[in-house]
Amino acid sequence: MAAPLEISPAEAEASPEDVVQGLSARRIEGRSLGQIAWLRLRRDKVAMGSAVFVLFLIAVAVVGPFFVQNPDTYHANLLNQTLLSPNGPFGGISGAHPFGIEPDTGRDVLSMVVNGARFSLIIAFLSTVLAVVIGVFFGIIAGYFGGWVDTLIARTMDVFLAFPLLVFAIALVGVLPNRTDLIGIALSGNGLRIVTLIFIIGFFSWPYMGRIIRGQTLSLREREFVDAARSLGARGPYILFRELLPNLWGPILVYATLLIPTNILFEAALSYLGVGIIPPTPSWGEMLSNAVINGYYYIDPMYMVIPGMAIFLTVMAFNLFGDGLRDALDPRSR
């Protein structure tokens, strides 16, 4: 004989209508894709932790520089006069300098890291936006129209992906001028350099996005809603931007989030090789570069560890968040 149904006292006294509607008297509604994804994401603790860290980083980049001292303040008095190394262990960590000071100059490492965050994140975000815009545009066109358009764009993407990016980027930054009057806006120094880096990094990372979007578009264009729209008289652009694009937000978001850490590393590599932000403006890659080239690693290893950790944690956070986002939006790819 089957076990009796477990009925709680509340249920035993409920009216039939209430039971059908659910005891909390809420209508049972279908959930939208977004809501389902959000709920799945919320349950993923690692992704949420990473998201919190990313938000913290953005906050540091935006308002951090106002809370730390000017990174260009030299503290020669805190250095050992013979070796010019920081007095005190762990690279001179103290109350006034929670991350220590830089050898040879005595600059505060915390403020250098916080200011460096700003450049790293701005360049990474904006170059990702650029890559996404170009990549989505060409990806959708290639995927939808097929034929020679697809061949042309796909082969172009292949060429870009085969390029030795870093070498080409170094060469390009080296030949660009130090000051220009670009479309009427006079840019010089770091301003121009940031714009240059955004364009170069964004320009070289669009194929990553383009290939993914092209693949997604290829599978989407066979779906019934595209046929339906076509039979209603819709033309190419309408289908592209009103039918296909809204269905691509998922992958776009995921891969954009996964593209950001790649671009952070790209910018750090360019700074490390000396073609990033112009010194003495601090940047994480440049701090690593100085640690190696000027030999700080020998007298003050913390000076290398700290920006290295900053890059590492940032990249890891974005990667984990992007992973979590992908799991939330498309669990089949797990």
The residues that touch another protein, with contacts defined as CB under 8 A, are: 46, 72-74, 76, 79, 81-85, 90, 103-106, 178-179, 188-189, 274, 278-280, 292-299, 301-302, 304-305, 308-309, 312-313, 316, 320, 323
Taking the complex as a whole, the smallest distance from the CB of residue 292 to another protein amounts, in Å, to 7
Asked whether the beta carbons of 196 and 275 are under 8 A apart, the reply is no
Nearer CB in complex with another protein: 35/80? 80
Secondary structure, 3-state, the chain? CCCCCCCCHHHHHCCHHHHHHCCCCCCCCCCCHHHHHHHHHHHCHHHHHHHHHHHHHHHHHHHHHHHCCCCCCCCHHHECCCCCCECCHHHHCCCCCCCCECCCCCCEHHHHHHHHHHHHHHHHHHHHHHHHHHHHHHHHHHHHHCHHHHHHHHHHHHHHHHCCHHHHHHHHHHHCCCEEEECCEEEEHHHHHHHHHHHHHHHHHHHHHHHHHHHHHHHHCCCHHHHHHHHCCCCHHHHHHHHHHHHHHHHHHHHHHHHHHHHHHHHHHHHHCCCCCCCCCCCHHHHHHHHHHCCHHHHCCHHHHHHHHHHHHHHHHHHHHHHHHHHHHCHHHC
Closer CB to another protein, 23 or 46, in the complex:
46
84's CB contacts (< 8 A; 6+ apart) are 103, 104
Closest distance between another protein and the C-beta of residue 125, in Å?
Answer: 23
CB of 92 vs another protein, minimal distance in Å: 14
Cis peptide before 280 (omega within 30 of 0): yes
Phi, psi of 327 (to 5 degrees): -65, -40
| Comparison of 244 and 268: residue with beta carbon closer to another protein | 268
Q: Which residues pair with 182 in a beta bridge?
A: 185
Q: Which is nearer to another protein, 205 or 281 (CB)?
A: 281
Least distance in angstroms from the C-beta of 85 to another protein: 7
Q: How far is the CB of 187 from another protein (least distance, A)?
A: 12
191's tokens:
């301003």
- Considering the complex, what minimum distance in angstroms separates the CB of residue 84 from another protein? 5
Nearer to another protein, 72 or 150 (CB): 72
Residue closer to another protein (CB basis): 202 or 285: 285
Closest CB 105 distance from another protein, rounded Å: 7
Judged by CB, which is closer to another protein: 182, or 292? 292
CB of 333 to another protein, least distance (A): 13
* Token pair belonging to 220: 């989407």
Residue with smaller CB distance to another protein, 170 or 218: 170
Closer to another protein by Cβ: residue 236 or 280:
280
- Closest contact distance (angstroms) between CB of 300 and another protein is 9
